Structure 1
C-alpha cells in the first residue's frame, strides 16, 4: 500500500492567524488540490494529520470541522482526487495529550487504522513539529515552504536539518507530489515523461 501523510493548514490550504473556523474560511493553496489528485492517480492513498486546537479553544465545533473537510473533498473531487481520512487532534497544549504534533499519537492511529508500518512512509508539512512527529515514528520527513515555513530563515532551516537529518524541502505541495511520483516511477523502471504541475515534461 502506497500511503502518504499530509499536514493540512499551511500545506493544503491557507492558514489564518485567528484559526480557520468554518468551511467558508477553508481556502486551498494554489495547485494543492491538483497535487493530491496527481498522487491519487499515481496510486497513492492520501491521509491528513492535523492539529485542530480551535476545537479545544472553543472557536469552532465538530460540525464546523466536518464541514471544512466536506468542502475539501468536494473541491478535490473536481480534480479527480480524494483524501482517504483525516486524523486530527482537538486538544490545546495545556491538555497534555499524546496526539498533538510533534507527539506521535496521530501517526500511530494512522498506522493502526491502515494496518501498516509507518517506516519510510512520506509525510509532508509546513512546520518543524510536522517533520519532528514524522521522524519520531520512522516516516520520511518532507517540509514545504508554504504556510509558516515560508518565513523560516536559513538559520532556522539549518537548525531543523540538524534535528531531522533526512529532511527534504520543497517549494510547495505540487513540487512534493512531482518529486514523489517521479521517484516512484524511476524505482519501477519507468522512464516515460511525467507531467508536472507547471505542465512541462521531465
Structure 2
C-alpha cells in the first residue's frame, strides 16, 4: 500500500514531522484485518521531499517508527524512493516498478493474490505493470482500480470479501 493519503493524512507540503503525521481513521483496524487474513503489509512510498531538501531521511524514519508503533508493528516492510526527477533520477520512484519488484522478490509474493492500495494514479500504474490487483482510495477514481473506496478500511472490507 501507499503511505501518504492511504495510511496517514497527505499534505501538499509533506507529512514529515510527528505533529503532522496523522494516521487516518480506520487504518489500524484495516491493517489488523489484513494481517489476520494472512496478508503481508508492505508500504511502497515516494518520499521526494528528501531529494528536494525539505526534510531528511532521519525525519522520515522517525515518522515510519511512529507509524509502526501506532499500527502495532504490523507493517512487514517499508520501501521508499527519496528521489525527485527535478533533482535526481531513479527507477525506484513510482510510477516505476522497482520497489514493487523488490518486494515481490523478497517475500515471494503471488501477484495474482495481492493488492496495491493507493490514492493516486502513480500508485496504480506500476502495480498493474507487475500484475497486482488494485484499489484506489481517498476520493479519486482514475479508472485504473478494480476497487474504488473512500478509505483504506472500506477498501480492505471489499478485498477480504473477494
**Does TM, scored on the shorter chain, surpass 0.5?**
yes
Unmatched tracts of structure 1, length 5 or more: 1-5, 184-202
CA distance in 2 between counterparts of 1:42 and 1:117 reads: 15
CA RMSD of aligned residues (A): 1.6
Please identify the structure whose Cα radius of gyration is greater.
1
Per-residue deviation, 1:141 = 1.2
Secondary structure at the aligned position of 2:45 is classed as strand
**TM-score (normalised: structure 2):** 0.92
CA distance in 1 between counterparts of 2:61 and 2:114 reads: 26
Residue of structure 2 in register with 1:126 after alignment: 119
Equivalent of 1:52 in 38, 43, 47? 47
Deviations 1:60-97 (A, max 9, x none): 112111111110111112xxx61001000000123231
Unmatched tracts of structure 2, length 5 or more: none
Question: Which runs of at least 4 in structure 1 moved beyond 3 Å after TM superposition?
Answer: none
Q: State whether residues 7 and 24 of structure 2, in contact with CA within 8 Å, keep that contact through their aligned partners in structure 1.
A: yes
Secondary structure at the aligned position of 1:57 is classed as coil
Structural mapping, 1:34-49, within 5 Å: 34-49=29-44
Residue of structure 1 in register with 2:106 after alignment: 113
Per-residue deviation, 1:33 = 1.5
Equivalent of 2:69 in 59, 71, 74? 74
CA distance in 1 between counterparts of 2:70 and 2:147 reads: 28
Residue of structure 1 in register with 2:23 after alignment: 28
Per-residue deviation, 1:117 = 4.3
Structural mapping, 1:1-202, within 5 Å: 6-77=1-72, 82-94=74-86, 95-144=88-137, 146=138, 150=139, 152=140, 157=141, 160-161=142-143, 164=144, 167-183=146-162
- Tell me which protein shows more helix as a share of its residues: 1
